[in-house]
Amino acid sequence: MSSQNIYILGIESSCDDTAASVIHNGRILSNVIANQKIHNDYGGVVPELASRAHQQNIVPVVDQAIKKAGINKSQLNAIAFTRGPGLMGSLLVGTSFAKSLAYGLKIPLIDVNHMQGHILAHFIEEKDFIKPPFPFLAMTISGGHTQIVNVKHYFDMEVIGETIDDAVGEAYDKSGKILGLGYPAGPEIDKRAQLGNPKAFKFTKPKVEGLNFSFSGFKTAVLYFIQREMKANPNFINENLNDICASIQYTIVGILLDKLKLASTQTNIKHIAIGGGVSANSGIRKALKDGEHKFGWTTYIPKFEYTTDNAAMIAIVGYLKYLNNSFSNNNVMASARLKI
């Protein structure tokens, strides 16, 4: 099969972002995202509101992605969509839309695993970005995921560690809520952390065997610590905010790095790729760079717009599956707990 002129539309609707992207031979032509601000007032994603917003956004978002790509929809070779994992009500909107469009245009449908999308985003053709060689370790860290995957080939991946409760982004967001910060709190904690003393306060790291993570105990530790200190000094948060943020960040980055080091030693893989919203974090980026000198790692971080939830990552998986002749049946179902 020729890979000369392949146009794929990718659609992502697994959580609270409605996104569409057109990819041409591995290069992104458009990457459109409608964020749902409505959840900020609730301090987290409200599933029912998310699916309603997807319903409103999906037609204009897809329309814009095709227009921005400068193509006509009749040029599309296939439609790729996120099948799961994610919120069922949200996934259903993208799945149904993708099916109808593929049916209408009489082109193939390609179902995509969202977690594979985060990982294969590293294979988007992008100037000055080097793709990781197989095998590599991929750590996906966001508000919904915390996972380390041994990536042997595009579609040969093994999850070797994951969270047994909260995701790392939730640890940031919930700590932020305790401190009275807005949602999502990760970026502000990160900003303040750079101005504070990381060793001002000590939080114990959870003891979880092997390569798995746990963050629910950390959030409780932050809560008890703040309650105790506020009893003694009602101004404690205001007077120490940067130091508290720096100490939280120091602990979280330490947890992530400990597991990455263990994964690298156990697998003897030194190519490390990260993705997901938390990969924007300055602490984790610095720790990875340090790992290049300390442990001989080579690290890979995609452009920010390809690390948070987006449809370009769905489009690249669609492209790779297209080349691989991996198409879906029209009766494929959304799956909230889809595994890698």
Find the part of the chain contacting Zn ion (CB under 5 A) among 48-56, 146-154, 233-241, 301-309.
301-309
For residue 12, state whether it binds ligand KG4 (rule: CB under 6 A). Answer: no
Pairing mode of beta strands 271-275, 298-300: parallel
Q: Among 275, 326, 314, which Cα is nearest to 83's?
A: 314
Q: Which long-range contacts (CB under 8 A, 24 or more apart) does 322-327 make?
A: 322/6, 322/8, 322/77, 322/78, 322/108, 322/110, 323/1, 323/3, 323/6, 324/154, 324/155, 325/1, 326/110, 326/155, 327/78, 327/108, 327/109, 327/110
Residues 223-282 that bind ligand KG4 (CB under 6 A): 276-278, 280-281
Report the residue from 187, 206, 217, 254 that binds ligand KG4 according to the rule CB under 6 A. 187
For residue 111, state whether it binds ligand KG4 (rule: CB under 6 A). Answer: no
Nearer to Zn ion, 190 or 309 (CB): 309
Q: How many residues bind ligand KG4 (CB under 6 A)?
A: 19
Residues 118-157 that bind ligand KG4 (CB under 6 A): 142-144
Q: Is 296 exposed, middle or buried (0-12, 13-18, 19+ CB in 10 A)?
A: exposed
CB of 333 to Zn ion, least distance (A): 20
Nearer to ligand KG4, 256 or 269 (CB): 256
Report the residue from 309, 311, 317, 318 that binds Zn ion according to the rule CB under 5 A. 309
CB of 62 to Zn ion, least distance (A): 19
Find the part of the chain contacting Zn ion (CB under 5 A) among 119-127, 158-166, 256-264, 303-311.
303-311
Q: Among 272, 317, 278, 273, which Cα is nearest to 296's?
A: 272
CA distance 224 to 219: 9
CB of 20 to Zn ion, least distance (A): 16
Distances (CA, A) of 35 to 17, 176, 208, 306, 334: 5, 21, 34, 14, 21
CB of 229 to Zn ion, least distance (A): 34
Q: Beta partners for 319? A: none
Retrieve residue 1's tokens: 């099969």
For residue 111, state whether it binds Zn ion (rule: CB under 5 A). Answer: no
For residue 86, state whether it binds ligand KG4 (rule: CB under 6 A). Answer: no
Report the residue from 81, 97, 136, 172 that binds ligand KG4 according to the rule CB under 6 A. 172
CB of 253 to ligand KG4, least distance (A): 9
For residue 34, state whether it binds ligand KG4 (rule: CB under 6 A). Answer: no
Nearer to ligand KG4, 75 or 162 (CB): 162
Q: Among 164, 196, 162, 166, which Cα is nearest to 179's?
A: 196
CA distance 69 to 61: 12
CA distance 319 to 74: 17
CB of 307 to ligand KG4, least distance (A): 7
Retrieve residue 276's tokens: 């997901």
Q: Which residues bind ligand KG4 (CB under 6 A)?
A: 15, 142-144, 169, 172-173, 184-187, 190, 276-278, 280-281, 308-309
Q: Which residues bind Zn ion (CB under 5 A)?
A: 309
